[in-house]
Structure 1
């Protein structure tokens, strides 16, 4: 693709359909997910060719990169109802829904990702219309001022003083320790994957 661009100064566009001929197993994959990957790839190439200093797009392997894909809603192919999510090519799966979806919100796309722990998460993108009167007014009794001191203590506008227990610093130290352990593991090994879950 780089050579073709240097010769013609135009970007060759290869469609997902062309990839399916070369790799028949891609027919088992959601076509909209492939289209999204194609869009991301084209965006990366466009940035590389048009913005000086941008590096050439790098291949992301399934072992070293985030495992996720995005698919779009077309003609009701994706829906969420009563603790279940329907995905193209996957079917209906049970989910643990964290919040109610307000009436009038339209589902646009879903990004499914697998964490190093082996758990799957679905991030849902919605669109909705925001009316001007939805902003509402701020009630004075619900406003709270916080004055944070460098010594780790905060004073509220109510006069209450709060000590900082230092959870963030403790978590930082713990993370640094686990990252050092990870750096000593052989990449791709079972111990590496086990330690990666802790990080």
Structure 2
């Protein structure tokens, strides 16, 4: 089972320069490889493999001798990242790979092997860089795979180490109606459960939006290229980082709770990218970050042998009475509570949707009534 462990690094000034040198060289190789792939396809109608590109990298040393100053395996890691980008483009339709810019606030390079981790000394040794002070707050056991060094927009450095703990994923637990929960995500409440529980939406971005607007106005007024502009940009980045950390902390706690308390979780498939085109709700939807929350549920379910059930995007979970099955086609987004004209049951819109999501998911598994 693969797990990633992320640690904060505290490099010296000289080591920071080495980091930036690696960021720049890896970016050059990535852009060069992307250009080669595009040219090869336009001329021959074929794609050039990363192995062929790796064989061509030494030829670049003649004109770009500074490439010799960085870890050669990090350079070859750039071609692997490019291959992965093309795989996402063809399989998941994630968008054609773009050329990387040095102005991008997030920079990274990979270290496939030959790095060392010393937990007792709180240091990590990187090829061509040396021992770097690192806050190794968690120990791990297993086979170390690729490590990735990254820089955030706030100027912080992190290393993420992929570890194979040599353990198999646990067998999926048997589930039934009693140990399954349906979840309806929303904006007013972050998540509503089929058992009637509502999880309040913390709205981290909305709570900080006024302060963010002030900092962005200050940034826009600074002179281009000045030190004050750099300071103002850093202040904006730090607030964005705080919001992101708050959001991830909240989602980790909620997802861990749901996975630990249930054997199966039923979810509705949402077209989030399409919903973000609604300019009236886009900011609130982005603030809730449902896709990130679902991702956390999915990999934690794999870790602990739980099951994620999905229902279709167009299932009428909101408009159907969960008691008698009456379809209320006139229900609008503004209506939060409604009464079924058939069985006269009073429904909370979101709780009713969560119950239906659970029913639809279990019905596909032929587990209704078990």
TM-score bracket, normalised by the shorter chain, equals: 0.5 to 0.7
Give the match for residue 93 of structure 1: 132
Measure, in 1, the Cα distance between the counterparts of 2:161 and 2:100.
24
1:71 equivalent among 87, 103, 111: 111
Aligned residues: 184
Give the match for residue 29 of structure 1: 70
Shift of the alpha carbon at 1:46? 7.0
Measure, in 1, the Cα distance between the counterparts of 2:216 and 2:104.
15
* Unaligned runs of at least 5 residues, structure 2: 1-35, 174-184, 192-198, 238-370
* 1:53–1:125 CA distance, 2 compared to 1 (3 A): closer
Give the match for residue 161 of structure 2: 124
Deviations 1:112-168 (A, max 9, x none): 1123333321111111133567999xxxxxxxxxxx99877x9xxxxxxx9888655
Whether contact under 8 Å (1:106, 1:128) holds in the other structure is yes
Whether contact under 8 Å (2:88, 2:94) holds in the other structure is no
Measure, in 2, the Cα distance between the counterparts of 1:48 and 1:133.
31
SS of 1:95's equivalent in the other structure is strand
* 1:124–1:185 CA distance, 2 compared to 1 (3 A): farther
Shift of the alpha carbon at 1:92? 1.1
- Higher relative CO (Cα under 8 Å, sequence separation at least 6) belongs to 2
Give the match for residue 6 of structure 1: 42
TM, length-normalised to structure 2: 0.39
Between structure 1 and structure 2, the one with the greater Rg is: 2
**Is 1:58 aligned to residue 59 of structure 2?**
no
* 1:98–1:52 CA distance, 2 compared to 1 (3 A): closer
Whether contact under 8 Å (2:124, 2:131) holds in the other structure is yes
Whether contact under 8 Å (2:149, 2:158) holds in the other structure is yes
- Superposition RMSD in Å: 4.4
